[in-house]
Amino acid sequence: MEQIDISIKDFKTLIVWQKARELAQDIYQISANFPAFETYATKSQIIRAATSIGVNIAEGNGQLYKKKQINFLNNALGSASETRHWLITALDNKYISQEDYNKLEQKTIKIIRMLIGYIKKLQEQADERELWNR
């Protein structure tokens, strides 16, 4: 029987996903020190926002169409911005140090820049393909 080679796109190879995973792990670790009363507020929100970045990158990578992938990457951008908000909230309430805030803020901004570059690249490819199909 002939074997058919079906290659799949693997989100785990994307550097932006790897960076998002690292950020989410950092957030899990640092939020472990949040006060108990924040378990269902700031703590759960910052974890949800940070993990959503990688989730959306992975889900977008599994799409067949570039425009659908771009939509998921836009969602990842939104989650990254939300993560920044929750980092500010954590800093304001002294749940994290200025040093930890600066480190996590820079990681999040780097992810945002990578996502924007990736979206632009995919948009160019989608536009180029559209021109060829006319």
Please state, in angstroms and rounded to a whole number, the distance separating the CA atoms of residues 123 and 125: 5
Domain holding 55, by residue range, is: 13-132
| CATH for 118 | 1.20.1440.60
Q: 0.85 cut: is pTM over it?
A: yes
- pLDDT tens string, the chain, 134 residues long: the values are 555 555 678 999 999 999 999 999 999 999 999 999 999 999 999 999 999 999 999 999 999 899 999 999 999 999 999 999 999 999 999 999 999 999 999 999 999 999 999 999 999 988 877 666 65
State the residue for tokens 């309430």: 93
How many domains would you assign to the chain? 1
Half-sphere CA count of 27, side-chain side, radius 13 A: 31
- Cα–Cα nearest to 77, from 56, 102, 106, 46: 56
- Residue 32 belongs to some domain of the structure: yes
- Residue 8 belongs to some domain of the structure: no
- Residue 104 belongs to some domain of the structure: yes
- Residue 1 belongs to some domain of the structure: no
Residues with Cβ within 8 Å of residue 15, at least 6 apart in sequence: 114
Residues with Cβ within 8 Å of residue 59, at least 6 apart in sequence: 72
